[in-house]
Chain A
């Protein structure tokens, strides 16, 4: 079987970057389908390759950058196929939207923590169809009834005739059979792999523990040039002119070309490219550049938040009421620009021969990248090929609304001319200084506590929208970008007198989704302020929340589960430690966390342990769910405590891990995870572990007698 064998029932040509709005639907609350969904492809030939050696290779449509889609897809397929785990393999599917569209988004894309959620049914059907076809092939060969054939752990057998065989010997015949129109899926009660702890091991662990896994940066091809691009120091600036005299004197530097995003230095190796760029003299057009600094932007945002904004979410159409009588509590929260800083910086390989473009890189939105590359070269989509590579992390960075990296890669290849393979590599400085940050956000709150209860809630949010004006603007409704206020516009808590408003703030500083997107800031602001009000009301952080969650049973269940796990007896933990709580719903999943915190060396908060309860619907790989909670918590701890990209005079003031402080093993808390059993549809796990962590830490600090940090990161160098 092979992907190329399939006859497409409907070949959909896409018309390049101008047509990037593709009936797009992200699984975001409040966003509806913008166009007809694509028919779900469930042809085994598109997703499976069964070798003569009995290996079953799953062609995975999602990029693997650690979140586990290879193992998840293989688990689901193996379950329905009744394969033995030892025969399962995985690799990336090619870029082909007709076959590999994300069923929720309509383009080939990984995002919104949707990989398992959107492909669970699809992969089950694929596996079940493949099983039926293998059984039919065996039945044909053995001249017996398919119903009499059993499949178990990769062995096909017919008891009465005492015959048995393996997948490899029937794969060829099976691939030529008509695809069954309808298949019966397994009763979940009979699952042996899906949701079964330790039933499978990750498919990529061995290669990644021995240095054998190949990432984009590892590509070397004959005649290949390595390219770095000099980008402008200020956001919004454009390349004007350059003097390459000194750069070209560097041994190994081959050429310097101006492209849209800067000046590209081509060299025989990475070190020559870096030295060449250092020697390059550049002139930038700063006429449209940002000039402000982070502090000025916060001041601007604060001034904007003093004015009424546009109401969203709960009660948005009701007239604003005056605040009721009671104790007025006010707070503000300032959240900085954050870089994703995946361990492998952005990189890509491109061979353009004038007729076709062949790219190899960690593409996360393959269809958008394909269209953008085609537009640069003037090629139709079908002449643009993307081999998706393993990527060293993303956290949102590789899912680019503007396909800016694919565009830069294509421009780099185009500028040097056809038939010259290029590998474009960003350095860490390019990465940290390069924008596409989690936007800087400002939250203003007013709350009223009366009679031991929360009587009113007012929240104004100010920040940038990266949807507005992008090819993804169709996700917006009536001018409202749901990402700006998701998590703040509807609460898990029943507070009758509720109002949430927002203002857009514009800047040439580029921004993007960052692991858990809007919840990165709303989770912090909302859960900190709620905890503040409960404290004022004299309520326990757990019991006070539960009392407001009558209509949110799944949220209440994870909160109860985490309180049980941690043996919650209130905020005090003894030994100079305190505990804080937070609960967030994101990407359809519910996560509650309790953080135990003290003040450690150098007066820095020390996070000792985080207890975590997650309800992500039906789990496929419990150990990957735990790993994603552990990793999401670590990512959140590191950024909450240490991380900021400060903007000074319109540009990033820092450029590497010496200043963009990253969590290290000695700062990693112990983590204990409980997965709340659920038969709901699978939902996300890559992102939902992040949002509750920072507010849980802040709330613990409050119960240590400190203020909840109103500005992140908590440890600031000033």
Chain B
């Protein structure tokens, strides 16, 4: 993946360029099944490994783009700042005059490559994932104060069933889908929860 680099000059690029949200390696396309982790004897280590595998989804541009660190989402596999400038606004639905639904309708519109979903919105600030380690994201996800007040069961259900989460595997356009399937992802999250919901460091 190419990074968004701002070049102020070719000659001294190293001095003046800034890479933003660089995704420099190829995006994963598959998930290992839960069974692949059965050989890990230590429950804590297995739990961490399961979450790390699920992290391929959580830290995929399809998910990170709408869990931004700032009020502005990113877009594309390169995670560029969203253009036009849009913000979380009132409850994650954008600012007055330019709501998410101004452009994003109930379904992807593939002739134009514009994605859509009935629940299209930005994650709230306490659910920001960009710029955080997988361990930090893990602890955040478990914390009801930072996960929308969800119990673990509700969290598992959200990951496995939510239709906006599910959009990540059917993004349309030139977007790389999240790896694996939502069912596989849901199974990993459930297995992680069942194994103690331990987080990476």
Contacts and interface: CB of A to CB of B under 8 A. Distances in A.
Indicate if A touches B (C-beta under 8 A). yes
Interface of A: 274, 334, 601-604, 658, 661, 664, 666, 701, 706-711, 714-718
Interface stretch (B11-19, B47-55, B162-170, B183-191): B11-19
A132 B4 CA distance: 66
A717 B20 CA distance: 11
Contact of B20 (A334, A602, A709, A714): A602
Contact of A709 (B2, B8, B18): B8
A274 B9 CA distance: 40
A718 B5 contact: yes
Contact of A664 (B8, B12, B84): B84
A102 B137 CA distance: 67
Contact of A716 (B6, B83, B85): B6
Contacts of B9: 706-711
Interface of B: 2, 4-12, 16, 18, 20, 78, 80-81, 83-85, 111
Given A711-B7, A717-B5, A706 B80 contact: no
A666 B18 CA distance: 22
Given A707-B8, A709-B9, 6 more contacts: A274-B111, A664-B84, A706-B8, A706-B16, A707-B11, A717-B80
Nearest to B7: A716
A718 B20 CA distance: 12
Contacts of A334: 10
A710 B12 CA distance: 10
Given A603-B18, A661-B83, A706-B16, A716 B5 contact: yes
A604 B6 contact: yes
A507 to B, nearest CB: 22
Contacts of B7: 709, 711, 714, 716, 718
B84 A603 contact: no
Contacts of B80: 717
A603 B19 CA distance: 9
A710 B6 contact: no
A22 B83 CA distance: 46
A186 B84 CA distance: 51
Contacts of A714: 6-8
Nearest to A271: B111
Contacts of B16: 706-707
Contact of B6 (A274, A664, A666, A715): A715
A661 B82 CA distance: 12
Contacts of A661: 83
A711 B10 contact: yes
A602 B81 contact: yes
A716 B5 CA distance: 7
Given A602-B20, A706-B16, A717-B80, A664 B85 contact: yes
A661 B76 CA distance: 15
Give 7 nearest A-B pairs by CB, closest first: A707-B9, A603-B18, A716-B7, A603-B6, A706-B8, A718-B5, A711-B10
B85 to A, nearest CB: 5
B18 A710 contact: no
A707 B85 contact: no
Contact of A602 (B6, B10, B11): B6
Contacts of B12: 707
Contacts of A706: 8-9, 16
A223 B84 CA distance: 39
A632 B75 CA distance: 30
Contacts of A715: 6
Contacts of B111: 274
Contacts of A707: 8-9, 11-12, 16
A658 B84 CA distance: 9
Nearest to B78: A717
A340 B16 CA distance: 29
18 contacts: A601-B81, A602-B18, A602-B81, A603-B18, A603-B20, A661-B83, A664-B83, A666-B85, A701-B8, A707-B8, A707-B11, A709-B8, A709-B9, A710-B9, A710-B10, A711-B10, A715-B6, A717-B80
A144 to B, nearest CB: 62
A717 B84 CA distance: 16
Nearest to A667: B85
Contacts of A710: 9-11
